[in-house]
Amino acid sequence: MLRVRNLTASYGYNQVLHGIDLDVGQDEIVTLIGSNGAGKTTLLNSISGHVKITGEIQYQGVNIAGRSPHAIARMGLLQVPEGRHVFPGLSVEENLGVGTVADRGLRISRGDLSADLDRVYQIFPRLKERRSQLAWSLSGGEQQMLAIGRALMGHPKLLMLDEPSMGLAPLIIEEVFERIVEINRLGTPVLLVEQNATLALKVSQRAYILERGRIKFSGPSQEVANDERVREAYLGVTRR
């Protein structure tokens, strides 16, 4: 589904990513873990076409390196950015309608949106309850659900999520991650950037550890979770 090879990315003269290799399979949740400033968001933005890169990004067998963000989104590779970025003055349903731009162009008619809305509301029943509310009035967890639901309206073939747990209460985090697992179960592979390493490793099949712009460790998530270096650095477990 996604194959990244020898990817480098820079902001001006500051090189942030150094020779990244990463894969996401058709049925997987793959998580990317690292401390603040490790380059996780830069990697997602590079894949989405927002950062100038060198290297190769193969998506569904096509090299998308150098393509515009819009072109990449139209191919079904969609990113939910850190911080949610919903439109506060639009209702929940209007926000969801905006998500169709990536897939087929904006369709405002309720009739055109009905099947896609029903699909999102099945995954996020709370959004259906709030469908007429303005987005600014939602809780942080509901706004995160809305941001993910908006991406689902674009029919993603691969979904990239940047810190979906940020700023949320523990019970809401658990609910959001249950929905992420359900989205994957229904057929959408996920590349997940997450600082809650324990939860990210629990829901994913494979994991990459990013440090200072380089992949330092990778493997099956259970194997990564059991590695002493990872446990001490990212899971808060110290050796006895």
The residue whose two tokens read 């179960």 is: 185
Residue 149 located in a structural domain:
yes
Residue 220 confidence (pLDDT): 96
Are 200 and 142 within one domain?
Answer: no
Residue 175 located in a structural domain:
no
Pick the last residue of a domain from 156, 179, 211.
156
Are 71 and 117 within one domain?
Answer: no
Residue 178 located in a structural domain:
no
Residue 14 confidence (pLDDT): 87
Residue 109 confidence (pLDDT): 47
Amino acid making up residue 85? H
Residue 182 located in a structural domain:
no
In sequence order, what DSSP letters do the residues of 194-213 get, joined into one string? -S-HHHHHHH-SEEEEEETT
Instruction: Using DSSP bridges, classify how beta strands 77-80 and 62-63 pair: parallel, antiparallel or unpaired.
Output: unpaired
In 10 A of CB 105, how many CB atoms?
A: 8
Could you read off the pLDDT of 207-229 as tens digits, one per residue?
999 999 999 999 999 999 998 88
- pLDDT-derived band of residue 73, with 50, 70 and 90 as boundaries? very high
Mean pLDDT (whole number) for 108-130: 84
Are 16 and 86 within one domain?
Answer: no
Are 6 and 56 within one domain?
Answer: yes
Residue 180 located in a structural domain:
no
| Contact in structure between 154 and 101 (CB atoms under 8 Å) | yes
Cα separations (Å) of 220 from 39, 209, 223, 226, 238? 21, 12, 5, 10, 21
What span, in angstroms and rounded, lies between the C-alpha atoms of 197 and 207? 10
Q: Has residue 128 got a pLDDT over 60?
A: yes
Are 38 and 91 within one domain?
Answer: no
- pLDDT-derived band of residue 35, with 50, 70 and 90 as boundaries? confident
In sequence order, what DSSP letters do the residues of 2-22 get, joined into one string? EEEEEEEEEETTEEEEEEEEE
Q: Has residue 105 got a pLDDT over 60?
A: no
Report residue 63 as tokens: 């090299």
| Contact in structure between 40 and 34 (CB atoms under 8 Å) | yes
**Helices in 77-139 by DSSP H: which ranges?**
92-98, 101-104, 110-123, 125-129
Report residue 122 as tokens: 């099945």
Q: Has residue 116 got a pLDDT over 60?
A: yes
Q: Give the range of the structural domain holding residue 100, as residue numbers without chain letter.
A: 79-156
CA nearest to 120, candidates 186, 76, 166: 186
Mean pLDDT (whole number) for 121-150: 95
Are 130 and 72 within one domain?
Answer: no
Report residue 114 as tokens: 């009905």
Residue 90 located in a structural domain:
yes
Q: Which helix (H) or strand (E) is 69 found in, with range?
A: helix 69-74
Are 25 and 85 within one domain?
Answer: no
Q: Provide the domain count of the chain.
A: 2
More confident residue, 76 or 237: 76
Q: Has residue 240 got a pLDDT over 60?
A: no
Q: Has residue 51 got a pLDDT over 80?
A: yes
Could you read off the pLDDT of 173-200 as tens digits, one per residue?
999 999 999 999 999 999 999 988 999 9
